[in-house]
Amino acid sequence: MRARFDRLKREGRGGLVTFISAGDPDAETSARILAGLPQAGADIIEIGMPFTDPMADGPAIQASSQRALKNGITLKKTLAMVEAFRRQDQETPIVLMGYYNPIYSFGVPRFLEEAKRAGVDGLIVVDLPPEEDEELCIPALKAGVNFIRLATPTTDDKRLPAVLANTSGFVYYVSIAGITGTRSARDQDITAAIERLRRHTALPIAVGFGIKTAEHAAKVASAADAAVVGSALVDTVAAHLDSDGRAKPDCADAVLKLVGELAAGVRGSVKGGTA
C-alpha cells in the first residue's frame, strides 16, 4: 500500500480507488471487471464482501450485494477472486471492504491467514469501532494486513486520535454523513476536512462517497491523496443487466470504460489544486 502511495507522490498526482462488489452481477463478469481495473486506471481496488445487511451502504451497493449473494458468492469465493487476480497482478493493492459478521462467522484467525495468502493488502470493516480493535484490527496488523479506518464529518478532533490510533495504509474520509451513493459533499467542505485530518495524521487520505464523474474525481484527487468511486460503478453494472438480471455482453466493458474516464480525470488533475 505504501509503495503505491509513494509512487503516486512521485508522479505528482492523486490516485483512483475503485470499488466493486465481489460476484456482482455474477462470478464471471465480476472477475472480468476485476482483472481489467488496473489497465483501465485503478490505482487501488476495493472489493466489497457481500453481506445481507449492509447498513452503511446506499441502494446501489445494497442491490449489488444482493445480486452477488443470489448468485452464490461467499467470503471464501471472494478470497479466491483475489487469489486469481494475484496470478496476473502482484502490485495493485487490494482492500476488502465490508462488515464484521461474515469474518466472525468465517473465523478471524482463519480469515486473516487465507486473506494474507490470497494477496489481500488491507481491510475496511465499517461496523468495528476503535473500542473493538482487539477483535480484528490488532490481529490484522499483526498478520501484516492494513486496517483502514473511516473518518466522517462527525468525527471531531476529540474522537480522531482514537480513530487513527491503529489505522494503517490510508485514512478513508467519508465526505458525507449518511449512506453511500446518495449525495455529494461540497468541494470546500472536503478541502477543509482534508486539512483538518492532515493535522492529525501523516497517512494518505482517500475521499469517497458521492463521487460520480471524472471532473469531481479530479477535484477531489487534487486535494486528497486519492478519490474513491463505488456507487457509480455498481450503477453501471445495474444499467447493463437484461430483464432477467443477467449481465449483457457489454457489462464489464461499460464499467471499465467509466473507470478509464475517471482515471483520465484524476491523472489530469493538478496536485495541490482546490477540491
For residue 270, pLDDT beyond 80: no
pLDDT in tens, 21-63: 999 999 999 999 999 999 999 999 999 999 988 777 788 899 9
Helix or strand (DSSP H, E) at 176: none
Query: Among this protein's residues, is 215 annotated catalytic?
Result: no
Rounded Cα gap, residues 33 and 30, in angstroms: 5
Single out the catalytic residue among 26, 57, 114, 225. Answer: 57
pLDDT in tens, 92-107: 999 999 999 999 999 9
pLDDT of residue 183: 42
Q: Domain 2-267 is of which CATH architecture?
A: Alpha-Beta Barrel (3.20)
Task: Tell me what the mean pLDDT of segment 217-229 comes to.
Answer: 94
pLDDT of residue 58: 80
For residue 182, pLDDT beyond 70: no
Beta strands 146-147; 150-151: pairing state: unpaired
Percent above pLDDT 70 for the chain: 93
pLDDT in tens, 7-26: 999 999 999 999 999 999 99
Residue 227 phi, psi dihedral angles, 5° rounding: -110, 135
Percent above pLDDT 90 for the chain: 85
Rounded Cα gap, residues 66 and 103, in angstroms: 18
For the chain, which residues make up each domain, given as ranges? 2-267
Rounded Cα gap, residues 205 and 15, in angstroms: 10
Rounded Cα gap, residues 218 and 214, in angstroms: 6
pLDDT in tens, 170-180: 999 998 754 44
Single out the catalytic residue among 24, 46, 133, 235. Answer: 46
pTM of the model: 0.93
User: What are the grid coordinates assigned to 18, written together?
Assistant: 475503485
Query: Among this protein's residues, is 114 annotated catalytic?
Result: no
